[in-house]
Amino acid sequence: MSTSASVLVGAIPTRLTDRVQRAMIRMRKNALIGQYLECSKEQMGGPARREIDPVTSMMKRLRGRNLAHPGCLIGITAGLTFGIILAGILASVFNVELSTILYIWLGLTVALGAIGWIVGARLTSRFPAEPEADEQPPAVQPESSATAEQVASQTPDTV
């Protein structure tokens, strides 16, 4: 056996053991991370984490904000999606020029983005901010029916 062949044979187990060792280290790290994620915050000395529905919390964060930007984002995304589908249909079925297809795609994207902006701006007033659960609404004090003469008679004269 030549020296180059013996070097290659000797290198294979070393590389293999290195890979096995790295895999074992990764498995230990993953096990530690899994144990960390399974224990609650109370066990770690902190307050317990409450479970939150992600959809509900996302919608609550949008309340009281201007919805024109999310509406525009949705409109542009829809415009790009429908535009590329329409472009493919126009190019393959109707053999329309590329420049015409690009103008139609751009127009559809801008138009749906503008429609999304307008609809989002109109919907903003329908979703006002909700008061916090901890906040108490300010108490309304009844207006006094005292006349100016009664108020003047109650104040001490400083003259």
Give the model's pLDDT for residue 125: 82
User: Is there a single domain that holds both residue 32 and residue 62?
Assistant: no
Is 66 contained in some domain? Answer: yes
User: Is there a single domain that holds both residue 36 and residue 67?
Assistant: no
In the structure encoding, which two tokens stand for residue 71, read together? 């509406």
Q: What is residue 1's three-state secondary structure? A: coil
User: Is there a single domain that holds both residue 26 and residue 84?
Assistant: no
> Which DSSP state fits 149?
H
User: Is there a single domain that holds both residue 102 and residue 58?
Assistant: yes
- Please list the ranges in the chain whose pLDDT falls under 50: 6
Is 67 contained in some domain? Answer: yes
User: Is there a single domain that holds both residue 112 and residue 88?
Assistant: yes
63 phi and psi angles, rounded to 5 deg = -65, 135
User: Is there a single domain that holds both residue 112 and residue 63?
Assistant: yes
Is 153 contained in some domain? Answer: no
Enclosing domain of residue 36? 9-44
Give the model's pLDDT for residue 79: 95
Q: In whole angstroms, what is the distance from residue 121 CA to residue 113 CA?
A: 12
Give the model's pLDDT for residue 57: 73
Is 49 contained in some domain? Answer: no
Q: What's the number of domains the chain is made of?
A: 2
138 phi and psi angles, rounded to 5 deg = -65, 140
User: Is there a single domain that holds both residue 58 and residue 120?
Assistant: yes
User: Is there a single domain that holds both residue 58 and residue 38?
Assistant: no
Is 131 contained in some domain? Answer: no
Give the model's pLDDT for residue 32: 65
User: Is there a single domain that holds both residue 120 and residue 100?
Assistant: yes
Give the model's pLDDT for residue 128: 79
